[in-house]
């Protein structure tokens, strides 16, 4: 089988995306859990003005979204696109979202903290993503008075965020390690190193499609740069473990059969549920990672999001029954994959 890891610096086979998030609070206001609806609206207005009327070159590229005005489908789609947390849409009154036009930056207002700055990039781009998040944080700090203690650092509602208030995360595709049953042991080991690994949408969510979030857990007594380096080093260890496990599975006829069957079902199915589609797409991405198919990762990673129920309805522009979603989902995936032909030599490689 073709070796897909010639460029060892390219880890896009494992690392789907990078996220940096800062938690900040206004000094003169209680945490959101203690705010009345009127005070929440006041805080939202202050932060909205600081961003939209700031002197940043990207200020005019933000749009403000009043969360209470969104439909349920529109709100859930924001979660599915990893732009907001599931908690953020659970109670939308008094909450606002500032979203950059390319959706690479989102600022949640009145989630657990007054301000949650989030920057997302494709692939492993910890330093670049941090630099942009830090720049936005600095611009806001010039216009807002953040709650800060000389000894503790930035003050946050949850004690686990006190200090830097930073969470650095990587979205990883780990099908081989999941298949081998190693994820439980890995999660236990990582917690001892100040790193946590969670499901697709963060805490208390499942790793649908073998997609996991790897994040720093320690924010106090450590610099932002140290936290990022620690996350990077551990992520690279996981990349190596995932690739080694793939090599062990590369001659497993049952695994290869599952991968090729998954491609066949996605290419021809007329109805497909979200949970089945996530599993099959994960298998096909696994096949790409092992050199079975020539499909770009961007296509597959985009599909992971576009097939989600609320995002599917948002893009169609109307409510859909489960059966209608299953039909449209299958059409979407079929169209995407049928433009990506598998070379005949690659099809026969493992027969």
Length reported for the chain: 351
pLDDT tens for each residue of 53-97: 887 888 999 999 999 999 999 999 999 999 999 999 998 999 999
Q: Is the pLDDT of residue 339 over 90?
A: no
pLDDT tens for each residue of 271-321: 999 999 999 999 999 999 999 999 999 999 999 999 999 999 999 999 999
DSSP string, 256-279: HHHHHHHHHHHHH-S---HHHHHH
What pLDDT score does 340 carry?
Answer: 53
What pLDDT score does 199 carry?
Answer: 84
pLDDT tens for each residue of 227-253: 999 999 999 999 999 999 999 999 899
pLDDT tens for each residue of 146-199: 999 999 999 999 999 999 999 999 999 999 999 999 999 999 999 889 899 998
Contacts 24+ apart (CB under 8 A), 259-263: 259/283, 259/284, 259/286, 259/287, 259/290, 259/292, 260/287, 260/292, 262/287, 263/287, 263/293, 263/337, 263/342
How distant is the alpha carbon of residue 1 from its chain centre?
31
Q: Is the pLDDT of residue 4 over 70?
A: no
pLDDT tens for each residue of 14-31: 999 999 999 999 999 999
What pLDDT score does 203 carry?
Answer: 66
d(CA 248, CA 31): 50
d(CA 64, CA 164): 26
């Amino acid at each position: 089988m073709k070796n897909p890891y010639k460029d060892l610096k390219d880890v896009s086979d494992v690392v789907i995306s990078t996220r940096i998030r800062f938690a900040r609070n206004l000094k003169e206001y209680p945490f959101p859990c203690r705010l009345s609806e009127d005070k929440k609206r006041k805080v939202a207005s202050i932060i909205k003005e600081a961003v939209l009327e700031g002197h940043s070159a990207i200020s005019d590229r933000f749009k403000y979204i009043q969360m209470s005005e969104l439909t349920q489908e529109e709100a859930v789609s924001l979660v599915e696109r990893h732009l907001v947390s599931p908690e953020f849409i659970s109670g939308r009154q008094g909450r606002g979202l500032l979203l950059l036009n390319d959706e690479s930056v989102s600022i949640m207002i009145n989630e657990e903290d007054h301000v949650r700055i989030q920057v997302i990039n494709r692939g492993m781009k910890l330093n670049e993503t941090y630099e942009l998040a830090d720049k936005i944080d600095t611009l806001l700090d010039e216009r807002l008075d953040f709650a800060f203690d000389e000894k503790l650092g930035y003050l946050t509602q949850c004690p686990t965020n006190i200090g830097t208030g930073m969470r650095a995360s990587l979205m990883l595709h780990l099908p081989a390690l999941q298949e081998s049953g190693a994820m439980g042991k890995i999660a236990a080991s990582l917690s001892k190193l100040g790193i946590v690994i969670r499901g697709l949408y963060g805490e208390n969510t499942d790793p649908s499609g073998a997609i996991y979030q790897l994040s720093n857990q320690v924010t106090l007594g450590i610099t932002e740069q140290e936290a990022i380096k620690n996350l990077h080093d551990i992520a690279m260890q996981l990349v190596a473990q995932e690739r080694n496990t793939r090599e062990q599975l590369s001659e497993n006829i049952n695994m290869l059969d599952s991968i090729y069957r998954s491609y066949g079902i996605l290419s021809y199915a007329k109805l497909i549920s979200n949970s089945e589609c996530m599993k099959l797409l994960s298998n096909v991405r696994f096949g790409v990672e092992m050199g079975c198919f020539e499909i770009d990762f961007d296509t597959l990673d985009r599909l992971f999001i576009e097939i989600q129920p609320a995002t599917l309805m948002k893009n169609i522009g109307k409510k859909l029954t489960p059966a209608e979603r299953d039909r449209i989902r299958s059409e979407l995936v079929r169209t995407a994959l049928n433009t990506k032909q598998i070379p005949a030599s690659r099809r026969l490689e493992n027969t």
